[in-house]
Amino acid sequence: MSNPKVKATHSAFPKPLKAQAKYLRDKVLEIHNVKVKSSHAHQALAGALGFNSKVALLNEYPSDCEHLDFILHHQNYRLDEEKLIDSLDSSLKSLPRDFVVTAIEESLIPGCENGCGKTLDSQPLFDSSDIEQPIAQVCDDCSDNSPQYSYCRFCGDSYLFRADEINEAGECPDHAGESIMDEDEETDWETYIEYINK
């Protein structure tokens, strides 16, 4: 007879975290032919994010949390290498540290929305109505070469948007009209340019 508590806990376990752990396990198997247990992969991910256990991670990010797909983004792309090393089981400890760190970083970011796969050479895509929560991930090749993406001249390259959100002046909706100066602003700007060019 199965234990209903275990079943409930398992079903409440977040899909993004399961997928991240599976990616890590698959990457280790593919590159080093080493099998990593699911529980050990989850523990490594939790440690990398600065948590002492998978339970502590889930207390911070519950199963219905919308931030799990972009958890590394919300952690400012910083891994806690000390906790990560402490959390590794023998199968992962035996592998080169640089490989383990890179594999975990890749595990924790979404794949490119265009199907290009997971790569650290990528960035989150934002909707201009909410620049706190990314809506997708885009690899650098797609963001650099596809006309469907663009940056706001005022937000800079920290925020990638869909091109149809950026107007002809290169502004997102939040900054629309800011590149148009009134007479006083234009005079001040011209005076400043004249001053620094003396």
Residue 29 to residues 34, 40, 98, 104, Cα–Cα distance (Å) = 5, 14, 16, 14
Q: Do 64 and 6 fall within a single domain?
A: yes
The pTM of this model reads 0.79
Q: Which among 109, 136, 155 is the end of a domain?
A: 109
On whether both 1 and 58 belong to a single domain, the answer is yes
- Report yes or no: 92 and 44 within 8 Å, Cβ to Cβ: yes
Residue 13 is predicted with a pLDDT of 59
Total number of domains constituting the chain: 2
pLDDT of residue 2: 40
74 and 139 in a single domain? The answer is: no
| Residues 129 and 40 grouped into a single domain | no
**Domain span including residue 159:** 111-198
User: Could you give the CA distance from residue 111 to residue 118 in angstroms, rounded to a whole number?
Assistant: 4
Do residue 8 and residue 102 come from a single domain? yes
Distance, CA of 92 to CA of 85 (rounded, Å)? 9
Tell me, yes or no, whether 98 and 16 share the same domain.
Answer: yes
Strand order in the sheet with 149-152: 136-139, 122-125, 156-162, 149-152
Using the structure block, give the residue that is written with the tokens 């519950």. Answer: 62
Do 190 and 160 fall within a single domain? yes
Per-residue pLDDT in tens (0 to 9) along the chain, 198 residues: 444 443 334 445 578 889 999 999 999 999 999 999 999 999 999 999 999 998 898 888 876 676 788 999 988 999 999 999 999 999 999 999 999 999 999 999 999 999 999 999 999 999 989 888 999 999 999 999 999 999 998 888 889 999 999 999 999 998 888 777 656 655 665 676 577 666
